[in-house]
Amino acid sequence: MRRRHGNADRTSPGTRAPADWAALFDANHNAIWRYLSRRAGPTVADDLAGEVFLRALRSTAAPAEGNERAWLYGIATNVLRERSRKEIRRLRAYARVAAPGVESVDQEAAAERVDAAAMARAVAGELSGLNAVERDTFLMFALTELDYEGIAVATGVPVGTVRSRLHRTRRRLRQALGEEPFDADEARTIQTRTG
């Protein structure tokens, strides 16, 4: 006879046993926290990571075997989207910040810091101008260990869509920075990431 009320040992397709949740949390918390920290800052990453795992726990959907981390990155991205207005304001503010003061008399090092600050402001300005899905795709690629296939799982789109979003975003950032089009070193870096 089947029980109709809760049983800790029984799981349905969208649920996991408590031991499974503990293992999922232990295996993925640090990576999810780092991603959230890079996107929203370390002061709120703990709260956001808690929200990610709470949503995962409450979810009726279950990730495919081996795609748990990509699934969690997708949930994290949705949590971040809810904070997107604050993130866009922060990126725009960063883009307006003046270059930091020069503390060293080493002119070459000072010039490098000024160039890096200018580049960071330009990148932040361009990122704030991207639509949410392009920004999320690019930041997921830049800030996580996911390859194209993992990002496709996390965002729920085909791999080709991930590739085209990243290509458009890279092109836009290169134009903003006044850099040359795609080069061989970048091709090798991307090839390493995508297998």
Q: Which amino acid is at 1?
A: M
Is residue 23 domain-resident?
yes
Output the CA torsion 12→17→22→25 (10° steps).
0
Q: Which amino acid is at 151?
A: I
Is residue 158 domain-resident?
no
Is residue 184 domain-resident?
no
Q: What is the domain range of residue 53? A: 16-82
Q: pLDDT 10s per residue in the chain (195 long)?
A: 333 333 333 334 355 677 788 888 999 999 999 999 998 888 889 999 999 999 998 888 778 788 899 999 999 999 988 887 776 777 777 666 644 554 545 566 656 665 566 666 777 777 778 888 888 888 889 888 889 999 999 889 999 999 999 999 888 888 877 766 555 455 445 555 555
Tens of pLDDT along 59-115? 887 787 888 999 999 999 999 888 877 767 777 776 666 445 545 455 666 566 655
Strands (E), 43-146: none
* Residue 149 pLDDT: 93
* Number of domains the chain is built from: 1
Q: Whose CA is closest to 96, among 128, 135, 138?
A: 128
